[in-house]
Amino acid sequence: MFEKFNCNNLEESTELLKQKVQESKEIINSLLKIKNKTYENFVMPYQEVGERLNEFLTPIFHIDSVKNSEITKKVHEECLPIISIYETEIGQNVDIYRALKDIQYNYNTSLNNIQLKVLENEIRDYKLSGCHLENNKKDRLKELNLTLSELSQKFSQNLLDATNDFEMVVEDFEDVKELPASDLELASFEEEGRTKYKFTLQMPSYIAYITYGTNRDFREKIYKAYATRAPQNADIITEILTLKDEKVKILGFDCYAQYSLSTKMASNEQEVVSFLEELAQKGKNRAIEELDEVKVLASKEGLRDIQSFDLAYYSEKLKKEKYDLDEEFYRPYFERESVLKGFFDFLNAIFDIKFVQVEEDAWDKKVNVYNIEEEGKVIARIFIDLEARKDKRGGAWMNNWHTHYIDNNGNTHLATAYIVCNFPPSTKNTPALLRHNDVVTLFHEMGHALHHLLSKVPESYVSGIAGVAWDVVEFPSQFLEYFAYDKEVLKLFAKHYETGKVLSDDAIEKIIKAKNFQSSLAMVRQVEFALFDFKLHQKLYKNEQEVQSLLDEIRQDVATIIPPKYNKFQNGFAHIFGGGYAAGYYSYKWAEVLSADAFYMFIDSGNIFNKELAIKYKKAILEQGGSKDMEKLFFDFTGRKPSVDSLLKIDGIIS
């Protein structure tokens, strides 16, 4: 039923990929020889070729992110040019493009809307690949795509290496005395008969010291190490920007931002910039007030020149003062396995889906594998990898492996996906205890996963997250996040790992009240990142100094606290230089408008467990994948257009 995850013979992958690429070319060539091409005899097998290649390649690229080693790096580097060249060649194949256009024209009235959507997307993407250009321009695009893929991978690898290279050893307990006991246990080690404490740039460790570290010098040391990671990425950024600018101008666009929007919900560049500036304008004054509160508290402790590396530390003190909220108090109530079980119970209660753990091999023994059942039938599989490891890329993400679709023979193929996070690991004395923020992250990534796994769309190229516009792909993930702040949802799993006692109503109320703590500061920070990303791709910035000047300019307009000059945030901005968010980082806020508006329907109904509404959402949004534009799907679900005010209300920025 499901393909087993197996990267045991990783070294053979390069040769196997070459074979599979050659087989794919031969199948496509045979499809092109069909005289009377139809959707059934051409488009459906054409999609299957792409699916089979993706299914083979996904674990190879995935293993490099979750079990990074010299072997995974070598195989990734070898496979990257093979698949990049193949995809560029296919994308520029004018015969495929003409065949798709002919089928669209000849069968327009007999094809269903989902089939027409597949054709519409593919024809658009062939134009964006330059299939209509002269051969010399096609050849240059092939070179550019390959180099950009290699640079993106190099950017990410530099960041991972820099993250792993740093260690900060603290010898005096006075410098760590405010750290929670669980963080101290993770950091402590014995050397020369003494207990010492080691901190790294792995996220659980970094957050622990920057939030609770008593010694300001050490806070700055670890902050500076984090903010100056991978300085060699500055040159890679310049090269990426130059090559992307060349690429889109060959394709006839004025800039990369314009090219990027051709596959998104936003209609033009000004719409995006105006949207972000509106958020900044509505949130900036409140953000300044939030920062002033921190400054007042810090000044009481004798600090009058608060810096970026002080903000988390004094913000945590302020949060405790305002809400009596102690993160360490909560962690025993968020034991990882209890959270997972309760989360699955919640998803079963609203969506009628059941998670059943199965014994299956994965890339690490700490990975859990579950089948998802609906009405007693297995419909999908998910791999969940939550603990931070040194050989694992930082952050959290969902990666789709197989896609749900029905093939030409009527066989249903089931979807699979991975959820990867970097939560605090278990120790020899304590199970893995999460922060509430970790719980929110888990809900977020599961939102992505369910969007992919619950698809009922029969065509693979618009099933699950395939074909979903990039600026609305965050909608289902952010929507599910909101439930992580509901009292009744939290009671399903917030149970003390030793006593089994459920977290009290008062303690839960503190989490809910603290939800919007510094929400304006957080929003303007996201807007800062999004404006930097978008404007960076509106014209060509030719060197490190020009890139830095743009970032500085945006910070002057948007930011409430200016970081030190040594801060080179851009060198670690993996979302846009190592991932797929270039000129699209704004989508987090864009999609948040949809998610907030959708969640308000549950609030207005007076029942967060409103099953009728949840099933409607499941059928209107999750099961539809990319088969319709999200604008239409959202209207189908809500009966209205989304409003920015819903987001500002839910974040407590306006009343």
How far apart CA 569 and CA 553 sit, in angstroms, is 14
Residue 287 amino acid letter? A
CB-count burial class (<10 Å; 0-12, 13-18, 19+) for 134: exposed
Please list, residue by residue across 454-465, b when 16 or more beta carbons sit within 10 angstroms of its beta carbon and e when fewer do: bbbbbbbbbbbb
Which CA distances in Å does 2 have to 352, 373, 377, 414, 415? 22, 14, 14, 8, 9
DSSP state letter for 425: P
Residue 314 amino acid letter? Y
445 is catalytic: yes
Alpha helices (H) in 537-586, listed in sequence order:
544-558, 574-577
Among 336, 327, 334, smallest CA distance to 208 is for 327
User: What residues contact residue 345 under an 8 Å CB cut-off, 6+ apart?
Assistant: 492, 493
Which CA distances in Å does 23 have to 29, 314, 525? 10, 59, 48
How far apart CA 222 and CA 166 sit, in angstroms, is 9
How far apart CA 325 and CA 511 sit, in angstroms, is 7
> For strand 397-400 and strand 405-406, is the pairing parallel, antiparallel, or unpaired?
unpaired
Sheet with 194-200, strands from edge to edge, namely: 167-170, 194-200, 188-191
DSSP labels for 162-193?
HHHH-EEEE--GGGTTTS-HHHHHHHEEEETT
How far apart CA 390 and CA 164 sit, in angstroms, is 7
Q: H/E element holding 383?
A: strand 377-387
Placement of tokens 């960041």 in the chain: 159
Sheet with 354-358, strands from edge to edge, namely: 354-358, 368-374, 377-387, 415-423, 397-400
Residue in 87, 327, 335, 445 annotated catalytic: 445
Q: Which residues pair with 355 in a beta bridge?
A: 372
Among 401, 463, 452, smallest CA distance to 53 is for 401
For 395, left (φ over 0), alpha (ψ -120 to 50), or beta? Answer: left
Among 191, 247, 201, smallest CA distance to 223 is for 201
Annotated catalytic residues are 445
